[in-house]
Amino acid sequence: MKQQLYMVHSVSGNTRSNASAFSHCSVQGHHHSEYGISYHGDHNNLRWAMSVGTLADPNSVAMRYGKKFVKRRPVLGCGAVIGSKFRALVISDTHFPYHHRDTFAFLKEAKKKYKPKIILHVGDIADNHYVSYHESETDAYGPAEELKMTRLACAQLQKMFPVMDISEGNHDLLNKRKAKTAGICLESLRSYNENFQTKDTWNWQESHFMEIGDAQPRLIPMVLKSNGRWIGHIL
């Protein structure tokens, strides 16, 4: 069975409509409270769409704006796409440095269990809270401190996953968006890898297409204890 996977930060918050609208399968992030898989059968194939939630700390100052959405709680976790010849781990919305403190321990165990050959990050690696178009929280990190801590988190992630395909997230794009607002030529900006001091084995694109054969999606929830810490094992 031949299938093509479309990876993009966000298409819509409804995986069912994604699965029925595309002639390929898809993975996305962005919608922190969306975590699931939907299927749609067309006359050619069975299509699926997966949303993989977030790894941002829901109690961090950067996520404070979401507290008012009491019926849309963030879902922590990641995903995998596993087949006979294709094995990928799918990560999304880490929002460094406002990630959950057990993020790296969780990803280490997910890597150990699923043994992925490909690592996919669906975007919003960084939060860039200090440069948001929304008002920044007064008790958030300052610009220099946030960038320093984001670089440290990226270094830790790249040590774990030296090669990774990344779809640009809306938070990743904030520097470019602010540059456009200020009339600054985008060619004068640093690349993502230069800015985060990561090696160019991280491949940043707006979206990615890839052949996945018979691979199917799996959700990997990050289940928390009552104290907000990860339970320590993959379900």
- Determine the pLDDT at residue 69: 67
Q: What does the mean pLDDT of the chain come to? A: 92
- The closest alpha carbon to 36, from 68, 63, 13, 69, belongs to 13
Residue 115 lies in a domain: yes
The two tokens of residue 60 are 């961090």
Does position 23 have pLDDT exceeding 90, yes or no?
Answer: no
- Determine the pLDDT at residue 70: 59
Residue 169 lies in a domain: yes
- Determine the pLDDT at residue 158: 98
Q: Which residues of 136-173 are buried (b: 16+ CB within 10 A; e: fewer)?
A: bbeebbeeeebbebbbebbeebbeebeebbbbbbebbb
Does position 64 have pLDDT exceeding 90, yes or no?
Answer: no
The proportion of the chain whose per-residue pLDDT surpasses 90, expressed as a percent, equals 72
Residue 129 lies in a domain: yes
- Higher per-residue pLDDT: 93 or 23: 93
Omega prior to 97 cis, within 30 of 0: yes
**Number of residues in the chain:** 235
Q: How many domains does the chain have?
A: 1
Average pLDDT of the residues in 61-77 = 81
- Determine the pLDDT at residue 188: 81
Does position 66 have pLDDT exceeding 90, yes or no?
Answer: no
| Residue 127: band (very low, low, confident or very high) from pLDDT cuts 50, 70, 90 | very high
- Determine the pLDDT at residue 1: 64
Written as one string, the DSSP assignment of 146-212 is HHHHHHHHHHHHHHH-SSEEEEPPTTTTHHHHHHHHTT--GGGSPPHHHHHT--TTEEEESEEEEE-
Residue 30 lies in a domain: no
- Determine the pLDDT at residue 180: 86
Q: Pairing state of beta strands 87-91 and 77-82?
A: antiparallel
Residue 227 lies in a domain: no
Mean pLDDT lowest among 17-21, 75-79, 142-146: 17-21
Domain of residue 179 covers: 53-206
Residue 217 lies in a domain: no
Does position 71 have pLDDT exceeding 70, yes or no?
Answer: no
Residue 94 lies in a domain: yes
Residue 6 lies in a domain: no
